[in-house]
Amino acid sequence: MTDATTARLRFTAAMLAGPLLLTFAAAVWGLWVLPELPDPMATHFSFGGAADGFTSPGTFIAATIVAAVATAVVFGALTMTGVSSTRTGRIVSGVGAGSIALAPLLMVAVAHPQTGMSDASKATLPMPGTIAAFVACVVVGVLVATFIRPPAEPEGTVPAAAPVEVTESTHAAWFGRGRASSTMILILALSVAVTAIPAAFAIRGGETILAIVLGASAALVALATWIFAVVRVRIDATGVRWSLGPGIPRGHVPIDDIRSVTAVELKAADWGGWGYRLGGEGTAILLRGGQGLRIDRATGKALFLSVDDAARGAELAQAYLRLLQ
């Protein structure tokens, strides 16, 4: 295990420890008061505050734990790719800690007023407790962001490939591909299941509109999974072309609009996640952490692409750029 990996593990553990301990405490409390909760209990409320959605307390507690752990997995995977600056590390860890803590705190806020009730239909939205839960999440996030020590890893370049020389008669091209991280695919696949399964139950229950909404959501997430499963890149004398999954979306950066192309180490945490990302430096099509291309454009913005063997592609692009000078 490298020193960088060890530092990332410590950083990730420091971010997750507090929120997961809070989740454990909320789960223990939930199981303790489980016999005192109405079955079913109110878990959804109308805009007026009246209970309009119910589920068994055991399912509610289990769903809360799953939501918190799933959020922890997402942010843990994010921070394990590294961060380029202390500021970015503090922001990501603070947002992550607060997001993980949200589900268990809301569970307590909703369940506590219902302890001892025999009929949950009389329950109302516990507004003070709900507000307190959100405030507590902010406090957790601020505390983690303040006291955590992120291991900053400035953007590193990938070792250069062997030099390439081209002439006006050269017809060389480089083809690269980058596949999505297993974590990203797992998150998207679980999202499909989370929406598709309730859609099936909604159909059986005769709730047509709800089934259509959930089914459409599942289809959109499945489409996103297909689109962001892979990115393909071609570099030749005309510039850089890229396309996602099924061939669209796609894009082309003309050679005369390129200042430089370099191979760099990309970190998902610097962009707030995976997928099509916008940031201060430009745009990123980030399917995983690791090697990628940085294409600096004449406009001053850059395009980042997750792709394997990035150094060879960057070297060919630089050779074509030298030919234009």
CA angle 159, 161, 163 (to 5 degrees): 135
Please report, for the chain, the start and end positions of each structural domain, with discontinuous segments joined by +.
3-147, 156-180+228-325, 184-227
Q: Say which residue, 241 or 168, is predicted with more confidence.
A: 241
pLDDT at 25 over 90: yes
Average pLDDT, the chain: 83
Looking at residue 141, its amino acid is G
Share of the chain above pLDDT 70, in %: 90
**What is the token pair recorded at 110?**
């909703």
**What is the token pair recorded at 122?**
């009389």
CA distances from 70 to 56, 180, 280 (A): 21, 19, 29
pLDDT of residue 158: 66
pLDDT of residue 277: 86
pLDDT at 160 over 70: no
Helix axes 208-227, 182-204, angle to 10 degrees: 160
CA distances from 211 to 59, 194, 202, 204 (A): 21, 13, 5, 9
Q: What is the mean pLDDT of residues 17-29?
A: 92
If one counts every other C-beta atom within 10 angstroms of the C-beta of residue 109, the result is 20
Q: DSSP character for 155?
A: P
Q: Say which residue, 31 or 4, is predicted with more confidence.
A: 31
Report the CATH fold assignment for 156-180+228-325. PH-domain like (2.30.29)
Q: What is the mean pLDDT of residues 180-184?
A: 74
Alpha helices in the chain (DSSP H): 3-33, 57-79, 86-111, 127-147, 182-204, 208-227, 310-324
Q: What is the pLDDT of residues 235-292, one digit of tens each?
A: 988 889 999 888 888 899 898 889 988 888 888 888 877 788 888 788 898 888 788 8
Q: What is the pLDDT of residues 42-52, one digit of tens each?
A: 888 888 888 87
pLDDT at 123 over 90: no
pLDDT at 203 over 70: no
CA atoms within 13 A on the CB side of 187: 24
pLDDT of residue 234: 92
DSSP line for 274-295:
SEEEEETTEEEEESSSEEEEEE
Q: How confident is the model at residue 155 (pLDDT cuts 50, 70, 90)?
A: low
Q: How confident is the model at residue 167 (pLDDT cuts 50, 70, 90)?
A: low
pLDDT at 1 over 60: no
Contacts 24+ apart (CB under 8 A), 25-32: 25/104, 26/64, 26/104, 26/105, 26/107, 26/108, 27/61, 27/64, 27/65, 27/104, 29/108, 30/57, 30/61, 30/64, 30/107, 30/108, 30/111, 31/61
CA angle 56, 59, 65 (to 5 degrees): 145
Residue with the two structure tokens 């005769």: 206
**Is the separation of the CB atoms in 89 and 15 below 8 Å?**
no
Sorted by sequence, the CB contacts under 8 Å of residue 160 that are 6+ apart come out as: 263, 311, 314, 315
pLDDT of residue 156: 60
CA nearest neighbour of 93 among 280, 281, 269: 269
pLDDT at 214 over 90: no
If one counts every other C-beta atom within 10 angstroms of the C-beta of residue 84, the result is 18
Highest mean pLDDT among 48-57, 64-73, 128-137, 288-297: 128-137
Q: How confident is the model at residue 135 (pLDDT cuts 50, 70, 90)?
A: very high
Q: What is the mean pLDDT of residues 223-227?
A: 82
Q: What is the mean pLDDT of residues 170-192?
A: 79
pLDDT of residue 108: 92
